[in-house]
Amino acid sequence: MKIGVDLDNTLFNTVENALSYYNKDYNDNINLEDITEYDMDKKLKIPTRDFFKKYAMPLYTNTLVFYPKILNMIHDLRTQENSLYFVSSCYYETIPWRHELLSDTFDWYTLDKLIVCNNKQSLNLDILVDDCLDNLIGGNFKKVVVDMPWNRNIDDNKYDITRLHIR
């Protein structure tokens, strides 16, 4: 089977980590549970795009924390029968940092295991694990959503989504 695993907020804690920088810089007190929509413009004092751009460097080069449950899942799923890919719809500027981080973390990782794609439904995967419903719905693969405050407002059964609690 070909298994795709998203990066931000699936493999590691991108939003949670960036919020700790943001709260200090903007004297705000937003936590992860406050982010109930994927677009954070209504919650933050700066545009979502700027939020990710501003904190990308410290996050990817230093402070991101991997979710242990996803690390365990990756360890278990990487068998001779399965191929595992990281699938990210990231800002292109962050690709070198992501590549470095994955290289430092997984001894089996090579660049051909990283798929950068803004249309994940187009991928020929058997399973996709992702926190963003927009990446899962419509895909011709088994859909596993990583439970986050911004993806709870949906009937999982209607879209044949399996929910994974990792926090």
Q: Which residues bind Mg ion (CB under 5 A)?
A: 6, 8-9, 131
Q: Which two tokens stand for residue 85?
A: 């890919």
Identity (one letter) of the amino acid at 153? N
How is 44-93 classified by DSSP, letter by letter? SSS-HHHHHHHHHHHIIIII--B-HHHHHHHHHH-SSS-EEEEEE---GG
Between residues 8 and 114, which has the closer beta carbon with respect to Mg ion?
8
| Residue whose CB is nearest to Mg ion in the complex, by number | 8
- Across 2-24, b (16+ Cβ under 10 Å) vs e yields ebbbbbbbbbbbbbbbbbeebee
Shortest Cβ 27–Mg ion spacing (Å):
27
Between residues 24 and 101, which has the closer beta carbon with respect to Mg ion?
101
Shortest Cβ 158–Mg ion spacing (Å):
21
Shortest Cβ 36–Mg ion spacing (Å):
16
Between residues 66 and 79, which has the closer beta carbon with respect to Mg ion?
66
Between residues 22 and 130, which has the closer beta carbon with respect to Mg ion?
130
Shortest Cβ 98–Mg ion spacing (Å):
12
Are 67 and 6 in contact by the 8 Å Cβ rule? The answer is no
Shortest Cβ 108–Mg ion spacing (Å):
22
Between residues 9 and 22, which has the closer beta carbon with respect to Mg ion?
9
Cβ neighbours of 37 (radius 10 Å) = 13
Are 11 and 28 in contact by the 8 Å Cβ rule? The answer is no
User: DSSP character for 166?
Assistant: -
3-state secondary structure of 39: coil
